[in-house]
Amino acid sequence: MSEALLELKNISTRVNLGTKEEKTILQDINLKIMPGDFITLLGTNGAGKSTLLNVINGTLQPTSGQVLLQGRDLTGMSEVKRAKFIAQVFQDPKLGTAPRMTVAENLLLATKRGQRRGLRMRHLRGQMAAFKERVAQLPNGLEERLQTFVGDLSGGQRQTLSFLMATIQRPELLLLDEHTAALDPNTSRDLLQLTDDVVAQEKLTCIMITHQLKDALKYGNRLLVLNAGQVVLDVRDEAKQQLTEKEILRYFAD
């Protein structure tokens, strides 16, 4: 068996330390994510799902424990430096894109994720044909809107762009924090199918938070359930395929 791509060792996260409001969000989590895992992550509100992603992407430092990516200790590394390895799409379509820049300009920025940025020529014109070819494969008609300011796009178009920006450089790890939750059902379905296709084609390692049990069962090879900051269910492959929504709900009980 190959070595873990990402390993969480004894991760705990507490907030409001030393006050009456002190609260433990993640409790001594130990988790190994293997190369090529497509994990769907479930849990009630407050279970710690987004906190777990924030610990992985560097937005939040754990109170204790280590985050290792291919054996590299990322625990003290900033979110900006981790962006070289880790990409994320957020629930809010307004996050992750620059509204006063065009679609093409946003894509150009995405190709430079994790690189040093200085004063240099953009070379945008030379990238336009490649960008048009990429977006032509996407839903929502973005191929006709490369010169449109992102702030003028619909929520679905903007979220589709965010997903393309997150994956254009093939990250070592892709984090999806309910990235379809703010979309209408048809757009959500299209983006989920695009997600599934890209993860498979690019052989990405991915963690996707969802509140939809049917989506958690349909997508990915592995399913995790968080409850009160702990992993209470971790199944993969055939065992995941045999799960039912009713069986999953038992792990949401207090």
pLDDT at site 144: 82
In this prediction the pTM is: 0.91
pLDDT at site 136: 82
CA-to-CA distance for 87 and 112, rounded, in angstroms?
Answer: 12
Residue ranges in the chain modelled with pLDDT below 70? 1-2, 113-123, 126, 254
Phi, psi of 65 (to 5 degrees): 105, 180
Q: Are 81 and 58 in contact (CB under 8 A)?
A: yes
- Pair of tokens at residue 154: 């619909």
Give the class (CATH, top level) of 1-85+172-254: alpha beta
Write the Ramachandran bin of 28: left for phi over 0, alpha for psi from -120 to 50, otherwise beta.
left
Instruction: Tell me whether strands 222-227 and 230-236 are parallel, antiparallel or unpaired.
Output: antiparallel
Read off the amino acid at residue 57.
Answer: N
- Whole-number percent of the chain with pLDDT over 90: 62
Total residue length of the chain: 254
Domain(s) of CATH 3.40.50.300: residues in the chain: 1-85+172-254
pLDDT at site 10: 97
pLDDT at site 175: 97
Q: Are 163 and 194 in contact (CB under 8 A)?
A: yes
Q: Are 138 and 165 in contact (CB under 8 A)?
A: no
Phi, psi of 178 (to 5 degrees): 50, 50
